[in-house]
Amino acid sequence: MPPLSATNVTTTALNADTFEKLARARLLRRPSTLDVPGSPGDDDLNPESDPLTKHLRHAAVLVPVVARDPLSVILTERTEHLPAHAGQIAFPGGKVEACDDGPLAAAMREAREEIALDGAFIEPLGFLPPYRTGTGFIITPAVALVRTGFELRPEPSEVAAVFEVPFAFLMDEANHKIDSRVWRGAERRFYAMPYGERYIWGATAGIIRTLYRSLFPE
Is 196 a member of any domain?
Answer: yes
Say which residues have a Cβ less than 8 Å from residue 5's Cβ, sequence separation at least 6.
Answer: none
Query: Would the pLDDT of 49 be above 80?
Result: no
Output the domain CATH number for residue 71: 3.90.79.10
Is 5 a member of any domain?
Answer: no
135 contacts 84 by C-beta, under 8 angstroms: yes
Provide the pLDDT confidence category of residue 88 given band limits of 50, 70 and 90.
Answer: confident
Residue 196, by phi and psi: left (phi above 0), alpha (psi -120 to 50) or beta? left
Residue 136, by phi and psi: left (phi above 0), alpha (psi -120 to 50) or beta? left
Please tell me the total count of domains within the chain. 1
What pLDDT, in 10s, does the model give residues 94-130? 999 999 999 999 999 999 999 999 999 999 999 999 9
Average the pLDDT over 146-152 and give the result. Answer: 97
Is 17 a member of any domain?
Answer: yes
Is 2 a member of any domain?
Answer: no
What is the pLDDT, as a whole number, of residue 135? 80
pTM for the structure as a whole: 0.91
Provide the residue range defining the domain that includes 67.
Answer: 11-215
